[in-house]
Amino acid sequence: MPRGHKEPHRLESVNWLRAAVLGANDGIVSTASLVAGVASAHTAHGSVVLTAIAGMVAGAMSMATGEYVSVSSQRDTEKAALVQEQAELDADFSREHQELTAIYVRRGLDMPLARQVAEKLMEHDALGAHARDELGISGINSARPLQAALASACSFATGAALPVFVAALAPEPVLLPSIAVSALVSLAALGGLAARAGGAKVGPGVIRVVFWSSLAMGASSGVGVLFGAVA
C-alpha cells in the first residue's frame, strides 16, 4: 500500500529568507555608507566607531518601527475585510455561496463540482473559505506585526554588525578600504543568495547590489570629504 507523503514546498521559508537577506543588505549598505562618510571627513577613530554603533541601533529600530506600523495597518485592513465578509455571510448566505462557486468556476471547475466544493467548504468554515479564496487571506500570509518588526530589526542589525566590527578593528589608515571591500564582498554574497533563493540568475543579482552599494558608499564618502574640507 503506497504511503502518503507531503511534498516539501518551501515558498514560505524562501520568502522569509529573501526578506532576511534584504534586511541584512540594508544594514550593511547604510552602516558602511555612514562609516565611509564620517571617516572621509577625517573624524577621530573612536567617533567613527561610535557613529557605526549608533547607526546600527538607529537603523534597526527604524526598520522595526516602520515594519510594525506597516504590517499593523495591513492587519487592521484584513480584520475590517473579515468583519465585512462575516456580515455579508450573515445577511445572504446563499448569495455568498454563489459568489464562491463562481470563483471556483473561474479557476477551472465545472459548475456542478464548483457548487459542491463551495457547499462543503462553507459547511466546514464559511468565513475561512471566503477569506482564503475571495480575499486572499490565509494563515501563511496573514499579517503578524511583532514578528515582522523583530525579523526586520534582527536582519538589519546582523548586516550592520559587519561594518561596526570592521570599523572597530581596522587600523585608521586602512579603515576606508577595509569598510568598502568587506561590505562589497558580503553584499555580493548576499545578492547571490537572494537571487538563488528566488530562482533568478545569480550574476545579475550580484552586479546590481554591488553597483548600487558602491554608488551609495561613494556618495557618502563624497559628502564626508566635502564637509570635512569645509570644516
Q: What is the pLDDT of residues 80-133, one digit of tens each?
A: 888 988 898 888 888 989 888 999 999 888 898 989 888 888 888 888 888 888
Domain tally for the chain? 1
pLDDT recorded at residue 229: 53
pLDDT recorded at residue 17: 65
For residue 31, give Cα distances in angstroms to 51, 100, 126, 135, 146: 9, 50, 49, 39, 24
Neighbour-count burial for 15-33, b at 16+ CB within 10 Å, e otherwise: eebebbbbbbbbbbbbbbb
225 assigned to some structural domain: yes
pLDDT recorded at residue 143: 64
| Torsion angle, alpha carbons of 100, 102, 106, 107, to 10 | 30
Residue range 143-187, pLDDT digits in tens: 678 888 888 899 999 999 999 999 999 998 899 999 999 999 999
What are the φ and ψ backbone dihedral angles of 6, each rounded to 5 degrees?
-115, 120
Residues 6+ apart with CB under 8 A from 22: 155, 194
For residue 2, give Cα distances in angstroms to 6, 7, 74, 138: 13, 15, 43, 31
215 assigned to some structural domain: yes
Rounded CA separation 18/16 (Å): 5
> In which band, very low, low, confident or very high, does the pLDDT at 4 lie, cut at 50, 70 and 90?
very low
Cβ atoms < 10 Å from Cβ of 175? 20
Identity of the amino acid at 175: L
pLDDT recorded at residue 93: 87
119 assigned to some structural domain: no
Residue range 13-37, pLDDT digits in tens: 555 666 677 788 899 999 999 999 9
105 assigned to some structural domain: no
**Residue 126 near residue 93 (C-beta atoms within 8 A):** yes
Of 213 and 157, which is predicted with more confidence?
Answer: 157
Q: Which of 43, 122, 53, 48 is nearest to 89 (CA)?
A: 122
Range of the domain at 222: 18-90+142-230
Residue 54 has pLDDT above 80, yes or no: yes
127 assigned to some structural domain: no
Cβ atoms < 10 Å from Cβ of 174? 10
Cell 456542478 belongs to residue:
112
157 assigned to some structural domain: yes
Of 55 and 146, which is predicted with more confidence?
Answer: 55
154 assigned to some structural domain: yes
160 assigned to some structural domain: yes
